[in-house]
Amino acid sequence: MPQITQIPLGEVPEILERHFGEKRSRMTIYYWAREGRGGIKLKTTKRVGKLYTTFNDLKEFVGEM
């Protein structure tokens, strides 16, 4: 079974810029997780009090923006 790497939401802005050429603040990423954008929320999981997402969930979210 392949391992899915969990990415802390605080690291998402760097990944967005590196892989998608999008520059966003950490507050924007947390807003996407909480409120969404265009009716679509960034999928997250909560572990030990922190929010995480995966690269696949991020790619899917960016593709739907």
Q: Would you give the DSSP letter of residue 1?
A: -
Check whether 1 has a pLDDT greater than 60.
no
How far apart (Å, rounded) are the C-alpha atoms in residues 18 and 65? 18
pTM for this predicted structure: 0.85
> CA 7, CA 63: separation in Å to the nearest integer?
18
What is the distance between the alpha carbons of residues 62 and 20, in angstroms, rounded to a whole number? 8
The residue ranges of every structural domain in the chain are 7-64
pLDDT tens per residue across span 2-42: 667 999 999 999 999 999 998 999 999 999 999 999 999 99
DSSP 17-40: HHHH-----HHHHHHHHHT-BTTB
